[in-house]
Amino acid sequence: MVSKLRQTGALLAFLTLAATAASAQGVTITGLVTSDAGTPLASASVILDGLSIGTITRDDGRYTIAVPAARANGQPASLVARLIGYKSVSFPVTLTAGTPITHDFVLGTNPLRLGEIVITGTGTSSSAEKLGNVRNHVDSTAITLSNESNIVESLAGKAPNVEVTEQSGEPGAGSYIRIRGTRSLASGNSQPLFVVDGVPIDNSSISTTNFNPNDGLGSGEIEGTAQANRASDINPNDIENIEILKGAAAGALYGARAGQGVILITTKSGKAGATRYSAQSKLSFDDVNRNYPLQTKYGQGYYGQSPAMLNANDEGDPDPTACDNISNAFCRYSWGPDLTGTGTPVYDHANEAFVTGHTTDNNLSVSGGNDRTSFFLSGAYLYDRGVFEGPNNNYQRSTIRLKATQKLTDRLDVGGNISFADARGNYVERGNTTDGLQLGLLRTPPDWNNLPYKGPNGQITFRFQHPIAGDVTSDRGWNNPFWTLNEGVHNSQLGRVFGNLTSSYNATDWLKVNYVLGGDYYADERLEGAPQGSAGTGGENVGRITEGKIINYELNQNLSATASHTFSPSFAGTFTVGNTLDDRNYRQLSDVGRTLVAPEPFNLANTVTRDPTIDAVSEIRNIGFFGQATTDLFDQLYLTAALRNDGSSTYDRNHLRAWFPKASVSWTFSKVLPIPGVSFSKLRAAYGEAGQEPVPYLTTQTYSSVAFPTIAQGVALTPTYGGFGGLASSITKATASLLPERTRELETGADFGFFKDKADLGITYYHAVTSNVILTQQLAPSSGYFQQVQQGAKFRNTGLEMTANVRPVSRKDFTWEVGAQWARNRSTVLDLLGANFVQLDPTYNTPQEVAIKGQPIGVMYDLGFAKCGISPNGLGAVVADIDLATVCAGKPKGALYIGADGFPVLDPNQRIIGDPNPKWTGALHTALQFKKVSVSALLDIKHGGVVNNGTRGALTAYGTHKTTEQRAACTFDADGNTVCTGNLKTFGQGGWYDGPVAGPGAGTAVPIGANWYSEGPLFFAGNNEAFNEDGGYTKLREISVGYSFDTPFVKNHLGFSSVDVRIAGRNLYTWTKYTGYDPETNLGGATGHSLGLDYFNQPQTRSFVFTLGLNR
Amino acid sequence: MRKSLMLAGAMSLAVTAAACSSFLTDSTASTDPNNPATVTTAQLFTGIQAGQFIEQEGNLAFLTCLFMQQCQGVGGRFVNQESEYTITNATANGEFAGIYGAGGLLDLKTVEANSDAAGDKQYKGIAEVWEAFVIGTAADVWGDIPYREAAGDVAHPAFDPQLQVYDDVEAKLDQAITDLAGAGPGPGANDFIYGGDVAKWTAAAYTLKARYALHQVEVRGNGKYQDAITAATNGIATHAGDFKTFHTTATFERNVWYQFQVNSGFGDDIVAGATLVNIMNAQNDPRRPQYFGKTPSGVYGGVDVNGGVGPNGVSGLKGLRDDPGFGQPIVTSDENSLILAEANFALHGAAAAQPFLDQERASNGLSVVTATMQSIMTEKYVALFQNIEVWNDYKRTCIPALQPFVNPSFGNQIPGRLYYGSAEENTNSNTPTAAEQLQHGGDVVSGAGINGFRNPNDPNPCPAPS
């Protein structure tokens, strides 16, 4: 170890001292590079392989290389021309001082990208055919065509088993990305590692609501607002390409940070030649893609009567103040009178809160350079005004990026890359909170007018059910949705700088040294203000401020040296050694202020009391050493072996280091086994290990100042008390030893090109076992502690991935491509350290999602109807008299038990009720180019996977859901029981819970009204199974038509080289059985593990996009 | 920025200097910068008091108030449901854990060990009274509980029989009384109850001994009445010696009942219970303005769990107690007097009980009434408003006669205990199952088979009034 360090240290010193004198008496090489269609190719690189001397072709395709005399000794060399999308061509030359060389290249197109340099991370690269693992590459065009402002969302449908789920269509909402299934339960750490130009960046997503743990808001992803995932601070227009390292075999060199895959992003660089200017302006119109189905026939009340009539006095006079009393629950329901023909106005709550949003996105870039210098400068401003009424639904992002490189000497290149982002979002509350938009909007009875939400003098009039003017603090049940939209404040203001310094030194013809020093710093200021009079169970009624900031900075360096040598045409190899150092600091500083002094402003100084300040700091340091060797045999067999030694401050002090090996083989057997019609064939296999580091500070027992809670949120006492500093034992027991989680993955596959590469096919199978999985085990509270982080659980993910592309037409003026991809992942919990189940993060309870041994990770574990063969015979105390075994004799498994009264009953035992993981995912895309017209489209498919539509569960209980428009007439008898008539249904028949039934009441037709929807064993009784729906979908993600004007008129009179016009649609249509807003939704946020949860989440949007591009 | 640059420099140096191990173990990278790893006795003792104030004054007291019809839940939400005995193994999950973990037995053991090592017997004695009180309360609410193996090295502590726990608690109080007579200096002002006054602590320990003696009379007979008299004779004699919680106006140091009403969003859901208000109205009780606010018509009224709102309307819990700094009376001279009244009545008849009842009533501004079991326990029911002990008294004496809400979950009776909680049930294999808790009242050790949801010390259900 030490000697290796000294070696690398010496290299670094050598690098800074080295300088080479150039000579004027060299060799000049000139020529022209064209495509096989005869078009001159600009920006193609032409280099002398091994000498690291080269240039880039100018706009006319011509190039000139000057070789210094000192390096021209009459030796043979290989002159290689390369351009992305074309097959590289090499030409042997002999370098003799004073003898000029001229050579023209003709490059054939290269749809399979064979021979292209592929960045494989930590300073290593390879070429496509040498990779032992599958390659997933997304280029700038694909990112641009997605019309997404968040690069994570732009990856939707781009690569097999790269699942992307946007939380909602709100401006600035983050997207969750998962590669090849869930492999860790680490909280907030489930996302792939994002690396930009060789430097890891932060992609966290943190809810402001988590700043307020004293109100029980520990799962803010579920209760607060949508939040950005921080990779969205990158301007997608700055990206040249993205390589997705899937699996442990591809990511092993990133060690304990690659457990969920690695996203390698390369930003655009300047190219030699004339300085280019490009201005692009995009305007899009966005609206809600589907409305929620609500009934508008029945009004507020219960038993068919309005609350006023239900509260009538003995004389039968209605009580108009019935809904002044919070305890009058009837005011919250829509089981009141039939409004048809009564003249009572009805309000369209499904539409009233939405407007047409719009997004503007303006980009300007300047780039250029010469053979020694290049630069790329861009500036962009994005403004997204969302689809909700009111001022609090927008996101804006300004970005500036400068990337420059300079060849200091023929052997030494240095570069710099700096990016600044300013991102500001205003969000609207959603989810499981009475302050949320959708909860208030969709539950409100149709005859209740939500407007105006304020009195004529701006005073608070009512929120939901309190029409008493001036009563500020009484609980309203839930917010008037317009109050939520206009008065509540939730914002995030972020400034971020990230970038790097790079240097690359060709010490000798065979040894290259790379050094990258990168940094990423941001400060994100958050404010949440609940104005006086808000609903909610955390003191929002008297006003509450949550204010704080997140500061994150990360420094990273990567030093690597690569030696390469070609021993003979049939034997070549490379050897890389390197070192990385990484230091990540995170700080959250926040306060909650309660009871506003004056209604405004929303700041802490304007509050009566303040909660204890939260100041949470964490620092993680990593030091890694790695080595990689590759061997090329007979120009067809490629072997790679690599090893990383990873040290992390998060491991315990007795195990500071861990090893991560990998090995792969790739065999291009088309070179020895020519098959007619098969132009390329390759077999590949790779094995690798990668992991996930533990959360820091788990190995020391500490004392805590966290408040003791009781009864309800917002009620607590702190250990520091009465002027004395106080502490209590942490509820978490320290863990003696922690190692990284480790995924061992074997991946094998094949790639084929057919008919001169007019078609291609790739297939990959993988088998990954993750061991040492870290999970939080609950301890017996009587032991003194609640929980302990323990290690040793085991997961398995296996899967299959396929891609196929056909290019039926590829002529100079007409190309057409159709591609498809398909993937599936099967996850299984192999070992859970004996725990019955472990709940996933962020914790959610209707339904909860868990890991259970033998089941897919993340199954929903909750209550459902009593069913034959599924429910235990004795159902427990609630329905102890049911002998299921007898009733179910001869009935199929899953038959619905029907009680004597004709209704199903709730099984009080928790069980697995659904799996949110899709059965398979896929995508279809096509691109057509005819002369100056380009057309493209992308269909994104998710098949299967449950989404729990809790929104429907709540709305059917409240009587506002469309399905409740068909209802029995209900009243109550002398004993207070609900008695209903009409709307007869038979469980198991006629489209009503179709399927087998069993039990004494099977086949009985029963009236269905409030007795079932509101009082039956459904959502509020804990029956979450009843609202599970098929969350599969097919989405028309992208469709676009573009035209490029580059006529002489444009060039000569307008002064542009081309003008591009494009009309596109984003998420224009979704085919799905899901009855909620959209099956692409998730309360679980952008970094949690819980999927498929929809409880008053915000809708998705669709967009029509118009783009104008001016290029020069 | 400078820090960043220095770090960058340090990182480069780290490579050349091969300082790889210290790079990983330096500074905040491996030591938790947010939470201390060491603690003083005083810090823990402060935390324990906050943790146990919330234990005595929080959920368990709320449930007592609702079950005993001193309070009533309205509005259909959880408070309303709990007053109708909708309780699950989530209802008091946190309270069960609060007995043992942070701010509970675990930290009390540290305080006792530390003060013993420091030779501070008074500090140790005070902590021992606390321990006895914490564990005694747990035995009152849950019956058989882990104690001897709890908060130690045992992953799955055994459940000790309730009566054994009471014996252990009694022994702990005796030890505390001995230690309180030892060397100081004790916690001083850090003791929020008595400011380190060992005489007051000794009296409180005796009253607690008397309290737990009474809890055993149903199964251990009249000898426990005599124990109660013996102990209470040395117990808290005046209001100045009352054991009260301590609160300030700081956000999370305010009275828990007050916090609940202003902060939880459920504050409007808890109102006065008709049974208590009616008793107090009947004797024109001067304590009403302490407990309740007046209705709009200027009187006091409560909600009946079975009947709804009477002609007086509904009072909120808006009396003088509804104050952020109100210290909730937990163990008081009133209780001590009424223990003496009850025990003397049971052993020696009305005449022996009368002076103790008179003394307590006089100190609360009430006129003389004849001492009967009914009048003594009814007065205790009023005097100990919002105190968990009211529930224990009812379980033993069935006074006042309460009409339970019709809920078949517990045989149409008022629950006599709570479930241990899902956290313990899911993790400790010794925990009786829900069915066992229902069938045996938690007494799986002796398998007593008590009918109903009650504890071993409470074998006799209260008859429903006709």
Which stretch of A72-81, A338-347, A361-370 has the lowest confidence by average pLDDT? A72-81
Angle at A883 between CA A881 and CA A886, to 5 degrees: 155
Query: Which pLDDT score, from 0 to 100, does residue B443 have?
Result: 58
Cβ contact, residue pair A5, B20, below 8 Å: yes
Cβ contact, residue pair A782, B107, below 8 Å: no
Read off the pLDDT of residues B28-60 as tens digits, 9 standing for 90 and up: 667 888 999 999 999 999 999 999 999 999 999
Q: B282 CA to chain A: closest CA distance, Å?
A: 28
Window 224-283 of A, Cβ < 8 Å to B: none
Query: Which tokens is A521 given?
Result: 């710093």
Cα-to-chain-centroid distance, residue A818:
26
Q: Confirm or reject contact between B13 and chain A (CB < 8 A).
A: no
pLDDT of residue A342 exceeding 50, the answer is yes
Hey, which of A688-697, A698-707, A1088-1097, B388-397 has the most confident mean pLDDT? B388-397
Cβ contact, residue pair B51, A708, below 8 Å: yes
Q: Which residues pair with B257 in a beta bridge?
A: none
Query: Which pLDDT score, from 0 to 100, does residue A873 have?
Result: 73
| CA distance linking residue A568 with residue A580, whole number of Å | 33
Residue A534 pLDDT level (bands cut at 50, 70, 90): confident
Among A538, A656, A717, the residue with its CB nearest the CB of B21 is A656
Q: Confirm or reject contact between A8 and chain B (CB < 8 A).
A: yes
Read off the pLDDT of residues B242-294 as tens digits, 9 standing for 90 and up: 999 999 998 899 999 999 988 777 888 899 999 999 999 999 999 999 999 99
Cβ contact, residue pair B18, A713, below 8 Å: no
Residue B18 pLDDT level (bands cut at 50, 70, 90): very low
- pLDDT (mean) for B78-103: 90
Query: Which tokens is B90 given?
Result: 């989530």
CA-nearest residue of chain A to B96? A781
Read off the pLDDT of residues B160-172 as tens digits, 9 standing for 90 and up: 999 999 999 999 9
CA-nearest residue of chain A to B28? A619
Cβ contact, residue pair B43, A697, below 8 Å: no
Q: A725 CA to chain B: closest CA distance, Å?
A: 6
Window 52-91 of B, Cβ < 8 Å to A: 53-55, 58-59, 62, 74-76, 78, 80
Cβ contact, residue pair B54, A717, below 8 Å: yes
Among A9, A697, A780, the residue with its CB nearest the CB of B156 is A780
Read off the pLDDT of residues B188-235 as tens digits, 9 standing for 90 and up: 999 999 999 999 999 999 999 999 999 999 999 999 999 999 999 999
Contacts of A614 in chain B (CB under 8 A): none
Hey, which of A607-616, B14-23, B206-215 has the most confident mean pLDDT? B206-215
> What 3-state class would DSSP assign to A63?
strand
Residue pair A950/A1027 in contact (Cβ under 8 Å)? The answer is yes
Residue B17 pLDDT level (bands cut at 50, 70, 90): very low
Query: Which pLDDT score, from 0 to 100, does residue A462 have?
Result: 53
Angle at A35 between CA A29 and CA A40, to 5 degrees: 65
Q: Confirm or reject contact between A537 and chain B (CB < 8 A).
A: yes
User: Quick one: angle between helices B350-363 and B333-348, nearest 10?
Assistant: 160
Greatest Cα pair distance in chain B: 93
- pLDDT (mean) for A34-57: 83
pLDDT of residue B20 exceeding 50, the answer is yes
pLDDT of residue A218 exceeding 60, the answer is no
Query: Which pLDDT score, from 0 to 100, does residue B4 have?
Result: 47
Cβ contact, residue pair B47, A728, below 8 Å: yes
Residue A1 pLDDT level (bands cut at 50, 70, 90): very low
Query: Which tokens is B20 given?
Result: 């790889």
Angle at A517 between CA A515 and CA A519, to 5 degrees: 160
Burial (Cβ within 10 Å: 0-12, 13-18, ≥19) of residue A1049 = exposed
Contacts of A516 in chain B (CB under 8 A): none
pLDDT of residue B64 exceeding 90, the answer is yes
- pLDDT (mean) for A993-1017: 93
Residue A8 pLDDT level (bands cut at 50, 70, 90): very low
Q: Confirm or reject contact between A880 and chain B (CB < 8 A).
A: no
pLDDT of residue A99 exceeding 90, the answer is no
> What 3-state class would DSSP assign to A945?
coil
Cβ contact, residue pair A712, B265, below 8 Å: yes
pLDDT of residue A1059 exceeding 50, the answer is yes
Query: Which tokens is A1012 given?
Result: 């079932």
Query: Which pLDDT score, from 0 to 100, does residue A432 have?
Result: 83
Query: Which tokens is A722 given?
Result: 């009465």
Q: Confirm or reject contact between B134 and chain A (CB < 8 A).
A: no
Question: Count of H helices and E strands in chain A?
Answer: 11, 58
Among B95, B156, B266, the residue with its CB nearest the CB of A712 is B266
Burial (Cβ within 10 Å: 0-12, 13-18, ≥19) of residue B182 = middle
Q: B218 CA to chain A: closest CA distance, Å?
A: 28
Residue pair A394/A426 in contact (Cβ under 8 Å)? The answer is yes
Contacts of A719 in chain B (CB under 8 A): 43, 46-47, 50-51, 103
Cα-to-chain-centroid distance, residue A126:
28
The conformation of residue B429, written as its DSSP 8-state character, comes to T
Contacts of A721 in chain B (CB under 8 A): 46-47, 49-50, 192, 246, 253
Q: Confirm or reject contact between B370 and chain A (CB < 8 A).
A: no
Greatest Cα pair distance in chain A: 117
Query: Which pLDDT score, from 0 to 100, does residue A315 have?
Result: 83
Contacts of B256 in chain A (CB under 8 A): 710-711, 715, 717
| CA distance linking residue A563 with residue A580, whole number of Å | 18
Read off the pLDDT of residues A906-942 as tens digits, 9 standing for 90 and up: 888 889 999 999 999 999 999 999 989 999 999 999 9
Q: Confirm or reject contact between A538 and chain B (CB < 8 A).
A: yes
Contacts of B107 in chain A (CB under 8 A): 728-729
Read off the pLDDT of residues A951-991 as tens digits, 9 standing for 90 and up: 999 999 999 999 999 999 999 887 777 899 999 999 999 99
Can you say whether residue A756 is alpha, beta or left, with left for phi > 0 and alpha for psi between -120 and 50 degrees?
left
Cβ contact, residue pair A611, B252, below 8 Å: yes
Query: Which pLDDT score, from 0 to 100, does residue A551 have?
Result: 97
CA-nearest residue of chain B to A12? B16
CB atoms within 10 A of CB A634: 13
Q: Which residues pair with A645 in a beta bridge?
A: A625, A659
Residue pair B426/B368 in contact (Cβ under 8 Å)? The answer is no
Query: Which pLDDT score, from 0 to 100, does residue A936 have?
Result: 96
Buried b (16+ CB within 10 A) or exposed e, A507-525: bebeebbbbbbbbbbbebb
Among B96, B150, B251, the residue with its CB nearest the CB of A594 is B251
* Closest to B275 measured CA to CA, from B133, B390, B119, B130: B390
Burial (Cβ within 10 Å: 0-12, 13-18, ≥19) of residue B22 = exposed
Residue pair A858/A1090 in contact (Cβ under 8 Å)? The answer is yes
Angle at A410 between CA A405 and CA A415, to 5 degrees: 15
Identify the residue among A711, A778, A1020 best suited for mutation to test binding to B, counting B beta carbons within 10 A and taking the highest. A711
Hey, which of A334-338, A542-546, A591-595 has the most confident mean pLDDT? A334-338
Task: Supply the ipTM of this predicted assembly.
Answer: 0.92
Cβ contact, residue pair A784, B21, below 8 Å: no
Q: Confirm or reject contact between A718 and chain B (CB < 8 A).
A: yes
CB atoms within 10 A of CB A664: 25
Read off the pLDDT of residues A306-327 as tens digits, 9 standing for 90 and up: 888 887 877 888 887 777 665 5
Whole-model pTM: value is 0.89
Read off the pLDDT of residues A861-882 as tens digits, 9 standing for 90 and up: 999 999 998 888 766 544 556 7
| CA distance linking residue B40 with residue A170, whole number of Å | 50
- pLDDT (mean) for A772-782: 91
Question: Count of H helices and E strands in chain B?
Answer: 22, 6
Identify the residue among B7, B13, B15, B165 best suited for mutation to test binding to A, counting A beta carbons within 10 A and taking the highest. B15
Q: Cα dihedral sign for B102, B104, B107, B111? A: positive
Q: Cα(first)–Cα(last) distance of chain B, in Å?
A: 79
Read off the pLDDT of residues A109-160 as tens digits, 9 standing for 90 and up: 888 888 788 888 888 888 888 899 998 999 999 999 999 999 999 999 999 9
Q: B368 CA to chain A: closest CA distance, Å?
A: 39
pLDDT of residue A655 exceeding 80, the answer is yes
Query: Which pLDDT score, from 0 to 100, does residue A595 have?
Result: 85
In one-letter notation, the amino acid at residue B160 is D
Cβ contact, residue pair B36, A703, below 8 Å: yes
Read off the pLDDT of residues A229-271 as tens digits, 9 standing for 90 and up: 999 999 999 999 999 999 899 999 999 999 999 999 999 999 8
- pLDDT (mean) for A389-415: 94
Contacts of B104 in chain A (CB under 8 A): 784
pLDDT of residue A291 exceeding 80, the answer is yes
CA-nearest residue of chain B to A620? B29
| CA distance linking residue A552 with residue B432, whole number of Å | 48
Residue A460 pLDDT level (bands cut at 50, 70, 90): low
Is there a cis peptide before residue A68, judged by omega within 30 degrees of 0?
no
Query: Which pLDDT score, from 0 to 100, does residue B374 have?
Result: 96
Contacts of B99 in chain A (CB under 8 A): 781-782
Cβ contact, residue pair A718, B96, below 8 Å: no
Cβ contact, residue pair B15, A8, below 8 Å: yes
Cβ contact, residue pair A648, B154, below 8 Å: no
| CA distance linking residue A356 with residue A642, whole number of Å | 53
pLDDT of residue B16 exceeding 50, the answer is no
Mean pLDDT of chain B: 90
pLDDT of residue A12 exceeding 50, the answer is no
